[in-house]
Amino acid sequence: MRDTLDQPLWQAWSVGAHYARVRERTRLLAEPLSDADATPQSMPDASPAKWHLAHTSWFFEAMVLVPHLPGYRPFNPDFGRLFNSYYETMGERHPRPQRGLLTRPSLEEVLAYRAHVDRAMAELCAQGGGEAAATIIELGCHHEEQHQELLLTDILNLFAANPLRPAYRPDAAPDTPSSDPGAMHFQAFVGGNVDVGHDPADGCFGFDCEGPRHRVWLEDYKLGDRLVTNGEWLSFIEQDGYRDPLLWLSQGWAMVQERGWQAPLYWEQGPDGWQTMTLGGMRRLDPHAPVTHVSLFEADAFARWAGKRLPTEFEWEHAAAAMPLVGNFADSGPLAPRALQGPAAPVRQMFGDVWEWTGSAFAPYPRFRPEPGAAGEYNGKFMSGQFVLRGGSCVTPPGHIRPTYRNFFPPDTRWQFSGVRLAEDF
């Protein structure tokens, strides 16, 4: 694949350069995985690595190459059915919970599929594909970056179900000394009429659900100056946070009882104290690192226990808009949340480390209209039963995040790198 992707023709079209970079990154993420690793599905919410690799290629094949590259021949006509995710407009789909039974195509064949699509995309880019193609390619690149993050969260979930506790990358989440970040302080923000959401006039990409940019009224508010740590979470556990129903939303308390939640996902108490499963295998719990793998229900209960609350997504965005977009993302980082370090600042860890649960239900912005056609199925149809998370995580691809970026998951979700920032009123 490399020879193709290195060709200067990608450069002829800025979207081509982006495409080549994203696709290469996906390939590198798959390198530590065997054919077997890439096959099973650890739970219905997760997908096999092979599926992520193929589905993102199918996206370009179905949305770009078939309509825009004359004479394009699909790699395998059956793949549409296998690797369509949820696009009802795009024909019959393989049932989601059975994705893990597709031992064929093999990982090797899926990589060949990727190369086939990449070659055709290079051809298209060389020709120049027009505005419509460029728009959908751009969407496809951001879509693929989302699946890059999911590939990692899903592999962690799969490996955590194996009593051998294999490591995705043995050097991930290293057991390095960290220091106590000290007490949390709350930084004040002035409210008023504030504009939020993505503005396409800025010229940078945003998913449909990030706009339209619109006005909201915010009261003055305060945000915690850092993320909640594992050590703070241990206090919550020790002070019976998981046993006091008054701390919990009613649905959350039902989950606690039904699923026996007593700590974040992947935490295990052993003879030598708490450990947690990471992309580097089992690791001693770092009390100074940000807590992760907690649900909205847990985040909300923790906030109530602490006498605080979760921020709304607009409080978060308003505060984040003025901050430098730096943090512990994938590639440069340990693929795990990291204890506070680096220069002092009024508010830290806003980007990277862990997705921050907000108290906002995922809902359409005023005047939101889905795109016509399959692209319109992107986000709008998930606007019930989900909460917004902001800021990206330690497995988010660098460059993928923005202050306006809205991630969303059901409130019982724990396998994502999701954590907590507190807020309070004046």
Rank residues 11 and 98 by Cβ distance to its own copies and give the closer one.
Answer: 98
Out of 35, 123, 138, 199, the only residue in the binding site for its own copies (CB under 8 A) is: 35
Q: Which of 362, 217, 246, 383 is nearest to 305 (CA)?
A: 246
Per-position x/- string for 173-212, each x denoting binding to its own copies as judged by CB under 8 A, each - no binding: --------------------x-------------------
What angle do the packed helices 14-30 and 49-60 form, to 10 degrees? 160
Contact 26, 330 (CB under 8 A): no
Rank residues 27 and 94 by Cβ distance to its own copies and give the closer one.
Answer: 94
- Give the shortest CB-264-to-its own copies separation in angstroms: 19
* Interface with its own copies, residue 42, by CB under 8 A: yes
Exposure class string for 284-298: b at 16+ Cβ within 10 A, else e: ebbbbbbbbbbbbbb
* Interface with its own copies, residue 217, by CB under 8 A: yes
Out of 10, 18, 29, 40, the only residue in the binding site for its own copies (CB under 8 A) is: 40
Rank residues 171 and 219 by Cβ distance to its own copies and give the closer one.
Answer: 219
Out of 106, 127, 187, 235, the only residue in the binding site for its own copies (CB under 8 A) is: 106
Out of 11, 176, 251, 257, the only residue in the binding site for its own copies (CB under 8 A) is: 251
Return the range that interacts with its own copies (CB under 8 A); candidates 21-29, 39-47, 125-133, 319-327: 39-47
* Interface with its own copies, residue 254, by CB under 8 A: no
* Interface with its own copies, residue 364, by CB under 8 A: yes
* Interface with its own copies, residue 257, by CB under 8 A: no
- DSSP classification of residue 114: H
Return the range that interacts with its own copies (CB under 8 A); candidates 133-141, 143-151, 275-283, 373-381: 373-381
Helix locations, 7-106, DSSP H: 14-30, 49-60, 66-68, 79-83
Per-position x/- string for 396-425, each x denoting binding to its own copies as judged by CB under 8 A, each - no binding: ---------------x-------------x
Q: Which of 64, 75, 80 is nearest to 124 (CA)?
A: 64
- How many residues in total does the chain contain? 426
Residue 8, Cβ neighbours under 10 Å: how many?
8
Contact 266, 276 (CB under 8 A): yes
Contact 362, 386 (CB under 8 A): yes
Contact 134, 241 (CB under 8 A): no
First to last CA, the chain: 56
Rank residues 399 and 410 by Cβ distance to its own copies and give the closer one.
Answer: 410
Q: How many residues bind its own copies (CB under 8 A)?
A: 66
Rank residues 205 and 382 by Cβ distance to its own copies and give the closer one.
Answer: 382
- Give the shortest CB-235-to-its own copies separation in angstroms: 22
**Cα–Cα distance, 123 to 382 (Å, whole number):** 35
Scan residues 317-346 and list those touching its own copies (CB under 8 A).
none
Out of 131, 250, 270, 322, the only residue in the binding site for its own copies (CB under 8 A) is: 250
Scan residues 138-167 and list those touching its own copies (CB under 8 A).
158-159, 161-164, 166
Q: Which of 188, 189, 208, 190 is nearest to 198 (CA)?
A: 208
- Burial class (CB within 10 angstroms; exposed 0-12, middle 13-18, buried 19+) of 146: middle
**Cα–Cα distance, 128 to 115 (Å, whole number):** 19
Query: Residue numbers of the site for its own copies (CB under 8 A)?
Result: 34-40, 42, 50, 78, 81-82, 86, 88-89, 94, 98, 100-107, 158-159, 161-164, 166, 193, 214-217, 219, 245-246, 248-253, 296-297, 300, 359-361, 363-364, 366-367, 376-377, 381-385, 387, 411, 425
